Amino acid sequence: MSRIGLGLVACLVVLSACGKPQTISMSSPPPSPSRLAPEIALPVEIAQYVQVPCTMLKPGQAVTKELSEGFNDGPKCTWSAKTPQQPELTATVDLTSGGLEGLYRKRSRLPYFEPTDVQGYPAVRYDPERTVPDQGRCTVSVGLSETALLTVTSRIADPKTLNYPVPCPDADLLAGAIVTDITRG
């Protein structure tokens, strides 16, 4: 065969191989998913507040000025509203759900999930039932260490209240005040 004939045969072989589907087999499992949550640059130890969460906030904070004094209700601190127009605020310390990374891994099951930050710490506003934080309720969880979350919830009873359709600023304010107090020591 001549060089032209061999070249033509080689081209046809290469071209015919391009049209055939190739099968790739994987002998090892796919790598585990990478980190989803932002890293926490300056972790804060908050385990001491699990059973006494009201001690996270120093008395006399402006955010709770118009509310009743906080009381420990098990692992939750509650500042009750004096009127239906004011928010009821709660704060808890969560050391068991996997921190902010655990919350990010559940985000596909949460109708509302909004990353944010509180006093420089990564946080998430979320709701397990609704796609918008409205109707007087908002929850924000702040990652204070790789395994610890500060979770604050704001609830407003009166639908005529200005904050009822946008309750997250109340939760953010309390979370910010707590983070400021515990990081200053």
Q: DSSP for 41-63, please give it.
A: SS----GGGSS-GGGGS-TT-GG
For residue 9, give both structure tokens.
């045969």
> Of 62, 63, 90, which is closest to residue 78 (Cα–Cα)?
90
For residue 42, the model assigns a pLDDT of 93
What does pTM read for this prediction? Answer: 0.79
Spell out where the chain has E strands: 71-73, 76-79, 87-94, 112-118, 121-127, 137-143, 149-156
> Of 80, 62, 61, 60, which is closest to residue 70 (Cα–Cα)?
80
Domain positions in the chain: 47-184
pLDDT in tens, 27-70: 444 444 698 999 999 999 999 999 999 999 988 888 888 888 88
Q: Residue 81 above 80 pLDDT?
A: yes
> Of 101, 147, 154, which is closest to residue 127 (Cα–Cα)?
154
Does domain 47-184 match CATH 3.40.1710?
Answer: no
